[in-house]
A and B are shown apart, each in its own frame.
Chain A
Amino acid sequence: MTIAIDARSAGQPSPALRAKRRRQRLTVLAFLTPWLLGVAIFFIYPLIDTVYLSFTRYDLLSPPKWIGLTNYRFMFTKDPQVVQAAYNTLWLVVILVTARVLFGLAVATLVTRLKSGLGLFRTVFYLPALVPPVAGVLAFVFLFNPATGPVNQILGALGLPQPLWFNDPSLSKPSLVMLGLWGVGDLMIIFLASLLDVPKEQYEAAALDGVNPWQRFRYVTLPNISPVLMFAAITGVIAALQYFTEAVVAASVASGQATTGGGNAALLGYPEGSTLTYAQWLYVMGFKNYYLGYASALAVVMFAVSLGVTLILLRRARSLVYGAEGTR
């Protein structure tokens, strides 16, 4: 009895309580199992395997062979394509993400100002985001075809220059940005929700203080929507680092190589490598040339960069995002 009292006084749970807690933990674990299995099979295992393969020579058809840091040495010293791919990807991260966030915010702000037809315009601006990426790119390349596209025909009719768009290395990436702006509905809709969620009282108080439109945006709107902006920036950066489908389809269609089988060598990043992204080079090296070990090394570096950029953005977010309490 004394011992029992001592144990309770020392905070030791009774056997019955321990059994109950164990059952609770098992119940929680049982409910978590599907998720844990998913993470283990589809994230942890591939991650470990990728890291391992990055130190091997592996062609998919024969067993991997350990070659140490050779893949990484090749990447950093002997692969000019990866430099171009990294540059193009960085360009897209900076320009595409910035342009999409700003344009999405501008469209959302515009829609909130509408006196009527808000539902209609909200739908119209959001619809392109529902178009499958490949279909959207095909349509864009058709619209911007230098010879037969309606955009150049209109420009020609107006006596304006008719650019080569996706066929011009200096305009191919900006053309992809235009494609991204066209499909900005996904950002616009969350910005719109965030803008509509800004307390009206704050605007009223600001109006009483006599703020101008810029001050109203800077000191009322921005603090309220900054968490959403940061979310858009982080997810946008991660998506841009993995930019693949749009670049591949645009290059393929614009180069006239949208055929399968036979044919001649693939025109990587047409025109002149300007649309070759890091993810595309990874895919080509892994699944076209079957340098799976090297592709794994590329993937590890991309993972590290994505993780690093995300951590930096999150750290910056703590200082930039205005919390619910109105503190920085």
Chain B
Amino acid sequence: MSIIRGRRRSLAIAAAAAGLALVATGCSSGSTDAGSAPISSAPTKLTGTVTFWHFFTDREAAAIQTAVDKFQAANPGVKVDVKKGQDDEKTIQAIASGQPIDVVLSYSTDQIGKFCSTGAWRDLSDYVKRDGVNLDQIPTVVRDYTQFEGKRCSMPMLSDTYGLYYNKKLLADAGYSAPPKTMSEFSAMAEKLTKLDGNGAIQVAGFVPTFGFYENAAAHFAPSFGATWFKADGTSNIGSDPAWASMFTWQKKLVDFYGYDKLTRFTAGLGQEFSADNAFEKGKVAMMIDGEYRNAFIKAEAPNLEYGTAPFPTDDTKTDLYGAGYVTGNVIGIGRGSQNPEAAWALVKYLSTDTDSVVAVANGIKNVPTTTPALTSPALEKDANYQTFLDVFANAHSTTTPTTASGKAYQDTLGTFAQNWQAGKVDDLAAGLKAVDQQINDQLALGSAP
């Protein structure tokens, strides 16, 4: 009797465990169903509600809202429910949990590989083909970062382009009338522009070379050295491409000029990047790398600052790269749980390809438009400082970070190495970069484990 009862109990426990395991596996399985294909012809009238999640806040969110209002005015049957301030983390979790988000705007191209390969964002190819959207109006680098392995799951909605910001007054005081074009010129100017107090502490830095400070990232410097991330076979190229070693050597030389501890103490006392206390806006840093959007921040927060912009200097041996820079951008797509994909596509198409809309938003938040008609539109407000970034954007040597199905983990791995490097904790640069290769390859292998 007790044996039978014991067996029953064991069976019951096993059944309960199996049930829970089934529930567990069932609940944790994401669906790859991207929903129904678009209807054969675009609907003549759109109706319903479209939920639109984007990451912008404050002043920039207002510019997006203006564009949305115009879309609604042109499509009176559609109501757009805007959720601002939603970053990638939130949207991914929302899509994974099955929330019916119609339109998603991401600030980064880093996750495009994941969005496309998993079907989290719908494939837009059929919509693009059906509506005859001309993709040739989108520059090649942008076309590349909005798709993954031939699957177009996003459209571009403005771009961020990186270049050099310099304080004209500080440069003039030091006897310079033009920004540097090569790294040796740049380093010499940075050193001369630096001001120390009586105790040797930095008062004004010509340039803060520390990785992690504001927009100082390996990805943003890489185009100036012609550094490449991956080999043709998809494995890391960081340890093999001498451009990376050149970049790290240049950076460390500048760090050593200041002294790592001095730099750390100096940057600890500076204001946050996206605040009115930004060090460049306050005249505490003479030169820095940043995106075109900084123009709008300066206009709003430090309108009297005398500054100029230029392409970021290049490696002395690669002056043909001058004029190029790092390009990334916002990408917009349709969530796989969209309940109103036709209206969602209409909004995506409007925000990404309607010239008037693209120009208006670009004027509002001072990002770079991502279509040729918008780039050449007379309505695009541009001054010399903004024009720099339009030129960088158009430069054939400008590059972006590669998309992988594992997101941006490879950039973080290099970022971790960079921290140790600049602190003087790496004795052998070549061996260190080879180790980075190995770590990245291992991570990529884990992300695609069979």
Residues of A at under 8 Å CB distance from B? 40, 44-45, 48-49, 52-53, 57-65, 67, 70-71, 74, 78-81, 145-148, 164, 167-169, 254-268, 270-273, 284, 287-291, 294
Contacts and interface: CB of A to CB of B under 8 A. Distances in A.
A61 to B, nearest CB: 4
A49 B21 CA distance: 7
A259 B274 CA distance: 7
A147 B265 contact: yes
A148 B269 contact: yes
Given A261-B107, A265-B412, A272-B419, A255 B212 contact: yes
Given A63-B30, A81-B416, A259-B272, A289 B89 contact: no
A328 to B, nearest CB: 38
Interface in B1-59: 17, 20-21, 23-25, 27-32, 55
A263 B219 CA distance: 11
Contacts of B24: 45, 48-49, 52-53
Given A48-B24, A67-B450, A288-B89, A164 B273 contact: no
Contacts of A271: 264, 419, 423
Contact of B419 (A49, A148, A164, A270): A270
Interface of B: 17, 20-21, 23-25, 27-32, 55, 87, 89, 92-93, 95-96, 107-108, 114-115, 117-120, 160, 212-220, 261, 264-270, 272-274, 406-409, 411-412, 414-416, 419-420, 423, 425, 439, 442-443, 446-450
B92 to A, nearest CB: 6
A52 B114 contact: no
Given A264-B415, A288-B89, 13 more contacts: A61-B30, A62-B30, A167-B265, A169-B423, A256-B267, A257-B212, A263-B273, A265-B218, A268-B415, A272-B419, A273-B419, A289-B408, A289-B412
B52 to A, nearest CB: 16
Contacts of B96: 60-61
B409 to A, nearest CB: 4
Nearest to A262: B107
Nearest to B111: A290
B268 A167 contact: yes
CB-based closest 3 A-B pairs? A147-B269, A264-B217, A49-B24
Q: Which of B270, B411, B449 has the most CB of A within 10 A?
A: B449
A260 B17 CA distance: 41
A41 to B, nearest CB: 10
B29 A63 contact: yes
B264 A64 contact: no
B405 to A, nearest CB: 8
Given A261-B55, A264-B216, A290-B114, A64 B450 contact: no
Contacts of A289: 406-409, 412, 443
A150 B160 CA distance: 38
Contacts of A291: 406, 409, 446-447
Nearest to B23: A45
Contacts of B115: 61
A60 B272 contact: no
A14 to B, nearest CB: 20
Contacts of A62: 30, 32, 117-119
26 contacts: A48-B20, A52-B25, A57-B448, A59-B118, A59-B447, A61-B119, A62-B30, A63-B31, A64-B29, A78-B446, A145-B269, A146-B265, A147-B265, A164-B261, A261-B55, A262-B160, A264-B215, A264-B219, A268-B416, A272-B425, A273-B420, A287-B93, A289-B406, A289-B407, A289-B443, A291-B446
A10 B404 CA distance: 74
B384 to A, nearest CB: 24
A255 B270 CA distance: 11
Contact of B114 (A61, A146, A268): A61
Nearest to A166: B268
Contacts of A145: 268-269
B114 A59 contact: yes
Contact of B28 (A40, A49, A261, A272): A49
Given A147-B269, A164-B264, A287-B89, A266 B108 contact: no
B93 A57 contact: no
A87 B270 CA distance: 31
A133 B216 CA distance: 29
A45 B55 contact: no
Contacts of A48: 17, 20-21, 24
Contacts of B20: 40, 44-45, 48
Nearest to A255: B212
B32 A147 contact: no
Q: Which of B95, B425, B446 has the most CB of A within 10 A?
A: B446
Contacts of B212: 255-257, 264-265, 267, 270
Nearest to A57: B449
A155 B376 CA distance: 58
Contacts of B274: 259
A167 B216 CA distance: 17
B411 A265 contact: yes
A62 B450 CA distance: 14
